[in-house]
Amino acid sequence: MKKLTIMIPCYNEEKGIAKVIKRIPREKLQSLGYKTHILIIDNNSKDKTSQVAKASGAEVIFERKQGKGYAVRSGIKHISSDTDVVVMLDGDNTYDPKEMPRLLEPLEQGFCDVVIGSRLAGKIAKDSMPLFNRTGNWLFTFLVRTMYHENVTDVCTGYFAWKKDVLKELSKYLEADGFSLEMEMITKMARMDFAIYSVPISYTHRSGSTNLRPLVDGKKILHAWLRNLTWKPYAESKGG
């Protein structure tokens, strides 16, 4: 049986994290040959995220430096050596954990190295993604498809599945601290010639308030896209 580590970075997600953990389809995953381990990264939350996650049966680690990039890199360092596959999703209950098998199937079949869950090619609940955010995401996705020649359909998604070794290799080069992380991951994976595949997913209203700042974070996302156009993997990592 393969080991699946489900990594969930959280900042002030006490309203959503229990729902996310509860909806993870453990029995279905077990029938597909996966034993699951849930790893919550508490990114210095000011609420009861850690307590709620622990009460729901998850392992919780703490990352003091705030920013999704810091949380994710901390989580990657804590992935066990016997893990085969890693799934990452947000703790705000916007993504459906029950759709996890859909992301795992292309990896299981050897079709690709990385799977991203695409909201733009999937089903977005009404009013769950503001028009400004959706338009920006379409633009960023178009820029990646055009300049990186990567057939992806949602470059700002927070739902990923990786072969563990692929994620560990990628983590050597991750530097982003905030919401530009997803753009950095996708563009650098493209430059590392990892096979990336998109599958449609659902996206719904979040539990709790958002931490995204559309204009500020949008500029950082665009900067990551531009910076990585000439980026190449190098021997000495900065992010590991």
Phi-psi region of 123 (alpha: psi -120 to 50; beta: other; left: phi over 0): beta
Indicate if the pLDDT at residue 237 is higher than 90: no
Let me know if residue 172 belongs to a domain: yes
Q: Which residue has the higher pLDDT, 215 or 133?
A: 133
* Token digits of residue 107: 């990896």
Segment 78-109, tens digit of pLDDT: 999 999 999 999 999 999 999 999 999 999 99
Q: Quick check: helix, strand or coil at residue 116?
A: strand
Q: Would residue 206 count as lying in a domain?
A: yes
- Name the pTM for this structure: 0.92
217 inside domain: yes
Strand segments (E) across the chain = 2-10, 34-42, 59-62, 85-88, 114-124, 160-163, 196-203
Each residue's pLDDT tens digit, 189-205: 999 999 999 999 999 98
Q: Is the dihedral of CA 178, 91, 58, 11 positive or negative?
A: positive
| Within a domain: 10 | yes
Residue 109 CA to residue 139 CA, distance in Å, equals 31
Are the CB atoms for 62 and 54 separated by under 8 Å? no
Domain CATH number, residue 55:
3.90.550.10
Are the C-beta atoms of 178 and 219 separated by less than 8 Å? no
Question: What mean pLDDT is reported for the chain?
Answer: 93
Would you say residue 239 lies in a domain? no
| β-sheet with 196-203: strand ranges across | 59-62, 34-42, 2-10, 85-88, 160-163, 114-124, 196-203
Q: Give the CA distances from residue 146 to residues 46, 149, 150, 212, in Å, rounded to whole numbers and listed in that order.
A: 41, 5, 8, 26
Within-domain flag for 31 = yes
Is 240 part of any domain?
no
Whole-angstrom distance between the N-terminal and C-terminal Cα of the chain?
29
Q: How many domains does the chain have?
A: 1
Is residue 235 assigned to a domain? no
- Residue 86 in contact with residue 5, Cβ under 8 Å? yes
Q: Which residues contact 29 (CB under 8 A, 6 or more apart)?
A: 4, 35, 36, 100, 101, 104
Contact 85, 115 (CB under 8 A): no
Q: Residue 173 sits in which domain range?
A: 2-230
Confidence band of 211 (pLDDT split at 50, 70, 90):
low
pLDDT for position 179: 79
CB 198 within 8 A of CB 114: no
116-141 average pLDDT score = 93
Contact by Cβ (8 Å): 5, 83: yes
Q: Tokens at residue 129, please?
A: 């993604």
